[in-house]
Structure formats: C-alpha cells, structure tokens
Amino acid sequence: MPLITRHDWSRSEIQALLELPLMDLLWQAQQVHRAANPGYHVQLASLLSVKTGGCEEDCAYCPQSLHNSSDVAGRPELEVEPVLARARAAKEAGAHRFCMGWAWREIRDGAPFEAMLAMVRGVRELGLEACVTAGMLSDSQAERLAEAGLTAYNHNLDTSPEHYDRIITTRTYQERLETLARVRRSGITLCCGGIIGMGETDADRAGLLEVLANLDPHPESVPINALVAVEGTPLEDLPPVDPLELVRMVATARILMPHARVRLSAGREQLGREAQILCLLAGADSIFYGDTLLTTGNPAVEADRELLAAAGVRVTA
C-alpha cells in the first residue's frame, strides 16, 4: 500500500475505517505502519506532574479539577532541580522524551513560567526531547518556549466537537484549536490526541480523528488514551474500554496520519500484554514509560521492557 498523506478526510470515510472487520483494519494499518516505520521502532516517553491539582477547568474525566471531589490539590509544585533529577532518572531508565504537566487552565507568567523555561532548557541539555502540557498559552509564551528548546507542546482535543460540551464547559473547542495554531506558529511540534470511553459514540470517535487528520500538517504526536475512571469524577461509573476498541483507534489513526507518532497513553495499565502488543502491531510507535501518568497508574518499567522484548520491537529516540 503506497503511503498517502491526506488532509481532506471525511467523517464517513473515517467511520467506515473504524467499522471495518478487525482483521481488515489491522491489515491496512500494518501496511501503512511498515512503510512509515520500517523495523518497528518504539519511542519511550516519561511523564511527570510538576503542578498537581487545583485546576480551574471542569474536565469530567480529570482528578485534578477543583470542580471534582477527586481533586488531588495540596501537593507542592515541584522546583527546577527535583524535576531535572526525575528527568535524569527517566533517561537512565531508557526514556527518550520527558513530558512535564501543569494543572493550569493557561500558563501563568512570572516565576512559574520562568521555572518552566528552566526545566525545558535543563531537559534538553540532558539530551532528551522535552514536552510540556499546561493549558492555553499566548503567542509570546509559545515563542519563549521555542527559544528554550521545547520539542513539543501537548494540548489534546479530548473528543469530537459535538461531544465536547458534555465533557468540558470551561474552555471551548475553538480555544483548543487556537492554542494548537499558536504552538504551530512558534515552530514547536504538536502533541494532540484524545480519550475514548467517555460515553461518546463511534461517530464521535470518527469526529475526533477527522479534526486531527485534517490539520495541516498533521500533529507530530497523537496520544490515544482510554478513560481511567477515577472515583470522584463525573465519569467514575463508566465501564472500562474494550481493549479492541483501543486497537481500532490506534489502527485508524495510523492509516489517517502515516508519519505521526501514535502514542499508547492513559489506560494502558488496564490492557493485558496481548492487547498492548496488538496496539503496537496496529501502529502505536510510542508508549509512556514509568510508574505514573500525571496522577493515574502506568505499567512498571521492568514490565514494559519485557513487553517490548516479547514483541520484538526496537527502542528508538
């Protein structure tokens, strides 16, 4: 199958892919993935929560929202040196990208932002890619992050435009798209994906992928998350995502965005080894590596090493 990069996918085309018999979908995704990623290389990324909880957003899935009884506020914001110590440890454990999260609606100027810039510079000096997720940002903040060497800015769309206001009301979909545009203008690469298992329909899943696949250029990094239903959030009673649904999302994302890194992200702890290997087969070429993802669990480092060895994939920067 020749590699074709498109930015004009229709929702009906995408939904048709998602609804293919699984073997047919995997076959198509395999052909694209083998052409785009010969040799099956997987990047390891580590994620640290720098500022945890107390977020003004009301995201229904998030234990860091002050609107939810699960809010995990109270942990002190981490200083520069402890963050860089964690980055060094992540590198020693095999990670190639170090991601840092702040539970903010938007980046705060002043000392917190200066500390963020210092962390980005320090992570880059270690030879790691640096990624930040911290909500909305201004053009000048994006420019300063680019000057500091930031590799990628994570700002997920979460779900389709139609389902969005059932999940978040404190920030519009358009504001998210404007943030992505600011990041892109600064020259920083985009890390942008979504979450499944939040009560959305198959059409909503196609709608999320439609927005991502029609960005030009595509996001360089596309995290695919499964909801981790946390007690104290509005979505706490939703059932776990069927692992094969995650496989379908990964495979379809790979077909739509051949050269993006498709990152197997939150919810991986709920997957068995076989389901994770199916996701790698379907086109995932990055996993988050380490014990926690911001505030939710993640498979342990040693288990990940064994998983990648069993799958026969190579680790790459």
What pLDDT, in 10s, does the model give residues 122-145?
999 999 999 999 999 999 999 999
pLDDT number for residue 225: 92
Quick one: which H or E segment has residue 230? none
Is the Cβ–Cβ distance between 126 and 92 less than 8 Å?
no
Question: Of 86, 97, 99, 144, which one is the catalytic site residue?
Answer: 99
Q: Three-class SS of residue 134? A: coil
Mean pLDDT of 69-94: 79
Is the Cβ–Cβ distance between 269 and 297 less than 8 Å?
yes
The predicted-structure confidence for 154-190, as pLDDT tens digits, reads as follows 999 999 999 999 999 999 999 999 999 999 999 999 9
The predicted-structure confidence for 72-82, as pLDDT tens digits, reads as follows 555 667 899 99
Question: Of 86, 248, 261, 263, which one is the catalytic site residue?
Answer: 263
Question: Of 131, 248, 261, 268, which one is the catalytic site residue?
Answer: 131
Question: Any catalytic annotation for residue 279?
Answer: no
Question: Of 86, 108, 166, 191, which one is the catalytic site residue?
Answer: 191
What's the CA gap between 102 and 134, in Å, rounded? 5
Question: Of 55, 182, 254, 261, which one is the catalytic site residue?
Answer: 55
Question: Of 59, 86, 176, 205, which one is the catalytic site residue?
Answer: 59
Question: Any catalytic annotation for residue 59?
Answer: yes
The predicted-structure confidence for 263-300, as pLDDT tens digits, reads as follows 988 777 778 889 989 999 999 998 877 654 444 444 56
Banded pLDDT at 317 (limits 50, 70, 90)? low
What's the CA gap between 301 and 317, in Å, rounded? 17
